[in-house]
Amino acid sequence: MRSARPRLLVALSGLLLAGPVLPTGSGAAPLQVLVQPGPLPVATVVVQEIPVLRLRGPDAERRAAEVVRRLSAVLAPGPASLVVTMRARPESADLLLNDRHIVTADLTQARFNQTTPEALAGQWVERLREALARNTVTLTPDLVRLHPGGTATVAVSVFLPGPVTLGPFDERIAAARVVGRTVVVAARAVGSTVVPVIVGGGRALLPVVVRRDAGTIPETLTVRVTGDLTNAAVVREAVQRRLDQAVAREPGATVTIGPFPPVDGITPDANQLELAVPVKIRSPYALPVEGVVRVNVVRETVEVADPALLLVSNRPEVVEADGILFSEVVDARHPIRLLYHHMNGTRQHARILTVVLTNRSSRPAEMLMISGLAGPSPDPLFVGHAATARFLQNLVAGRGYVLEIAPRSSYAFSAQTMLPLQLVSGILQLQLLRGEELEVRVQIRLPWLLEGTVAIPVNQIAYPHPKGIFQSPTVTIVRSVDLRWPVPLVDLGSAAALADVRTGEPLVGDYGVVYRMTITAANATAADVQADLVATAAGGPARGVFLIDGRLVEMAIFRPSEERVLATITIPPGQTAQVKVVTMPTAGSSYPVRLTMRPRE
């Protein structure tokens, strides 16, 4: 058998616009009719959540709605007192409110309730008195969050009119006063309190939370970019880093930047770009802050210099603890390049890898940053390949941005989150434009640890992957070749022959070293000669990234001794052709990779 479901009729809405009405969205109205459909419908009149009377019969819903209308008519003017009485009549009894007829208990309703009309009306009287002894008080808003010195006005809505008063609360946290039908709250100190708002027999509790703002968002910002503005990823990274620096925040606060507006259709000769970037600051201990920053991206010309030092952080590659992976103070007057490549070796928790740059001098530091970041990914060859491809393209095009660090302060440049058994890889080239001494630190931590709590080195047994400081990480090769026979050019990964300046440990694989090659090929024959630039895996499985005459050539994974043709040139009889190659061994791959210029037979 299908049961009948109660139906709710809110009969008060529209009848008491100036009287006892709860605000929209505040929950159940003080006067309600609940209808139980069926062969003999039942309508219950509810006053301030108390069922006052129940009517049965085909016209029960209509009669209940009339009861609500009559109650509303008496309550709307806000009478000073409310008197509920009963008037007995032969075979019936009336329920009165302030001597005005509300409803009649007749023999039919009395039989339904198995009592007499007089007794039934007496029950209604007691229930209505109980309901009217209450008072529904609603506050809008029902929670106040302020920063010290801030104010808020709270609207007070009531079912039964009466004077508004306030109960005791902590006045050290906030001040509160009644102004008409509102409560004005003024924050005094950080903390929280609850203000009781009392009207007649009803009350509502107003929580007041006083917190500092989670941070401060600038209205405008200038970002300086080098190279050109056509690479949207570089522009976004530059804006993200500068905003991350410029947004002041309370301890424990997090900043969300974006979404970024489209950065498409920019011409190579553009010198300026304006963006409106949303920023949010959130903290469990402070008030949220939101804003839109007008960012002016301007193009600058900076001559990119080769670095004097290469800093390599790859040991341990698989990290199983929190701590410092690499730390070094360098004379920042000479350009430096940092390569890092690490895996979160734990199977339970994510970890965050951060590159921290610290200006240790008493003067501001200003540096050109050229970067290539990749990950997280479980594939070590992929992240190393992706980071190298991004870095080399930015390096050759001179695409970077100017980073500023205040005196004796730090900036956590990169924060990459790795799930268990994922890797990240990054290449950063820093060229100081102003300043002196710079500390470069790579560290890893669990997500719930603050950055400043990472204070000791990671101490674990690890496979001897590269780590250290290496001088002159650029190999320049100028070769002239005769295409009458194959000519070996270089073994990428071993030609640099770099060693750690402190330990003398060799940099096996030349990871982080840039190779620049200019190859002049001569055809001394009487016919056209086609020649291939061939890469051969001379170590283990490897990938490769090459810029050949400015064109990106990416080499998929190839096994030991496997060959790949990178480019083909055709040279007329008695002439020469020049090929320029820029490359770098990719982290995660097993180098060396041998390059050969070989004529086709």
- Kindly report the CATH number assigned to the domain that includes residue 177: 2.60.40.1080
Domain total of the chain: 5
> Are both 480 and 586 inside the same structural domain?
yes
pLDDT tens column, 162-176: 899 999 999 999 999
Structure-token pair, residue 370: 């050229």
Residue 25's pLDDT is 35
Structure-token pair, residue 18: 């100036």
What is the number of other CB atoms lying within 10 angstroms of the CB of residue 329? 12
> Are both 401 and 529 inside the same structural domain?
no
> Are both 229 and 109 inside the same structural domain?
no
Binning pLDDT at 50, 70 and 90, where does residue 558 land? confident
Residue 158's pLDDT is 87
Residue 81's pLDDT is 83
Residue 22's pLDDT is 35
- Let me know if residue 88 belongs to a domain: yes
**DSSP string of 248-260?**
EE-TT-EEEE-PP
Is 50 exceeded by the pLDDT of residue 282?
yes
Binning pLDDT at 50, 70 and 90, where does residue 291 land? very high
> Are both 186 and 156 inside the same structural domain?
yes
Residue 448's pLDDT is 82
pLDDT tens column, 115-165: 999 999 999 999 999 988 888 889 999 999 999 999 999 999 888 888 999
Mean pLDDT of the chain: 89
Express the helix, strand and coil content of the chain in percent, nearest 5 each.
10, 50, 40
Classify residue 438 as left (phi > 0), alpha (psi -120 to 50) or beta: beta
Among 86-100, 195-209, 269-283, 438-452, which stretch is predicted with the lowest mean pLDDT? 438-452
Q: What angle do CA 586, 368, 228 make, to 5 degrees?
A: 85
> Are both 529 and 591 inside the same structural domain?
yes
Decide: residue 366, CB within 10 A, 0-12 exposed, 13-18 middle, 19+ buried.
Answer: middle
Residue 13's pLDDT is 31
User: In residues, how long is the chain?
Assistant: 601
- Let me know if residue 215 belongs to a domain: no
Q: How are strands ordered across the β-sheet holding 137-140?
A: 137-140, 151-158, 182-187, 174-179
> Are both 279 and 350 inside the same structural domain?
no
Given 148, 178, 210, the domain boundary residue is 210
Looking at residues 483-500, what average pLDDT do you find? 94
> Are both 437 and 318 inside the same structural domain?
yes
Amino acid code (one letter) for 572: P
Is 50 exceeded by the pLDDT of residue 372?
yes
> Are both 39 and 54 inside the same structural domain?
yes
More confident residue, 263 or 17: 263
pLDDT tens column, 27-42: 457 888 999 988 889 9
- Let me know if residue 151 belongs to a domain: yes
- Let me know if residue 155 belongs to a domain: yes
> Are both 198 and 151 inside the same structural domain?
yes
pLDDT tens column, 333-346: 789 999 999 999 99
Given 471, 499, 526, the domain boundary residue is 471
- Let me know if residue 2 belongs to a domain: no
Which residue from 65, 25, 18, 20 is spatially nearest to 41, judged by alpha carbons?
65
How far apart are the C-alpha atoms of 382 and 576, rounded to whole Å?
Answer: 37
How far apart are the C-alpha atoms of 234 and 232, rounded to whole Å?
Answer: 6
Residue 132's pLDDT is 87
How far apart are the C-alpha atoms of 258 and 264, rounded to whole Å?
Answer: 16
Looking at residues 297-312, what average pLDDT do you find? 94
- Let me know if residue 198 belongs to a domain: yes
- Kindly report the CATH number assigned to the domain that includes residue 443: 2.60.120
What does pTM read for this prediction? 0.73
Binning pLDDT at 50, 70 and 90, where does residue 3 land? very low
What is the number of other CB atoms lying within 10 angstroms of the CB of residue 169? 18
- Let me know if residue 339 belongs to a domain: yes
Given 65, 98, 132, the domain boundary residue is 132
- Let me know if residue 425 belongs to a domain: yes
Residue 82 belongs to what domain range? Answer: 7-132
Residue 1's pLDDT is 41
How far apart are the C-alpha atoms of 435 and 439, rounded to whole Å?
Answer: 12
> In angstroms, how far is CA 330 from the centroid of its own chain?
33
More confident residue, 358 or 23: 358
> Are both 162 and 177 inside the same structural domain?
yes
> Are both 81 and 108 inside the same structural domain?
yes
**Cα-only R_g, the chain:** 39
> Are both 459 and 375 inside the same structural domain?
yes
